[in-house]
Structure 1
């Protein structure tokens, strides 16, 4: 508990320094940010290396930014081509992720990426249904998500 409080206060102070102005509002926002980080990483099972999880989280964020850029270009190409009926479709994505946090993060990463949206998790929690703007081959969509997002979500949340 004491280490968590110290970490939270440290994050709050770092936030204040990053904002460049020491005031109560920045301090409170920094404390809230620290509490969020602590809550997020409290979901890490015991025995896992904390540093590895943080590096995995940073890697996940970087991969998301790259995929976001690529997806924006892909959607832009579809829009500018004038194709009114791109080969869109619904893909049944088999989940390897088992935890609630992992499934939620994966579904949100997919939804935040232009051209795809997470529709529903099957009741057995083994399949995620995704609508994709361009589906030439559903297996390509599945392989792309497995290699980019799910692999890293597993590193951080499982």
Structure 2
């Protein structure tokens, strides 16, 4: 006999409820039984009464693409942190801009991942995301250091491509205009 859908949802979300309870206890800094039970009650209410919609990616994990994404992101963090640090001591205000970048993929998941990765790099932050037009609007702190407006746009598109090549399916890559990387280019590190 199968569980009622609502009961099954609670059973599936026990790791989330446990995590939320741990966060609750850590935020309050009190490990007493009453606080743990209050955390469980709130975690239950959040996961059962306010469930998030399921996110269907339809993609597949590509280990080499994921390694490339993480390595490039780590490099971006270091380089951008140094650039922002130098900018803090440079006289005069930086030349900043808000740019719009239309992404290739129409998936909410990939738009969100790209936006988050771009926002986590110092010197740029996503100020708005238009889901229907697949456009991200970013504030770039120093356009000159970023290589100009077009270079900043290309940087966002490159980030999206790395996200897609890390976790998108072949069909999603083709829909975004990014076919698989030819074997000859893979050896040289060239992407299409």
Shorter-chain TM-score bucket reads 0.5 to 0.7
Q: Which has the higher helix share?
A: 1
Structure 2 unmatched ranges of 5 or more: 1-55, 169-192
Structure 1 unmatched ranges of 5 or more: 1-41
The answer for the alignment partner of 1:131 in structure 2 is 139
**What is the aligned counterpart of 1:68 among 77, 86, 91?**
77
The answer for the alignment partner of 1:154 in structure 2 is 164
Query: How far apart are 1:123 and its partner, in Å?
Result: 4.3
Alignment RMSD (CA, Å): 1.8
1-side partners of 2:84 and 2:96: how far apart? 12
1-side partners of 2:133 and 2:163: how far apart? 16
Q: Is the 8 A contact 1:99 1:157 kept in 2?
A: no
Matched, 1:89 2:103: no
Moved over 2 A (4+): 42-45, 144-147
Give the secondary structure class of the aligned counterpart of 2:95: coil
Q: Is the 8 A contact 2:111 2:134 kept in 1?
A: no
Q: Is the 8 A contact 1:44 1:157 kept in 2?
A: no
**What is the aligned counterpart of 1:54 among 49, 60, 63?**
63
Query: How far apart are 1:71 and its partner, in Å?
Result: 0.3
State the TM-score, normalized to the length of structure 1. Answer: 0.63
Query: How far apart are 1:58 and its partner, in Å?
Result: 1.7
> What CA deviation, in whole Å up to 9, does each residue of 1:72-122 have, x standing for no partner?
111011101132x20011000111122121111110011100000011112
State the TM-score, normalized to the length of structure 2. Answer: 0.53
Q: Is the 8 A contact 2:102 2:136 kept in 1?
A: yes
Instruction: Give the number of aligned pairs.
Output: 110
- Structure number with bigger Rg: 2
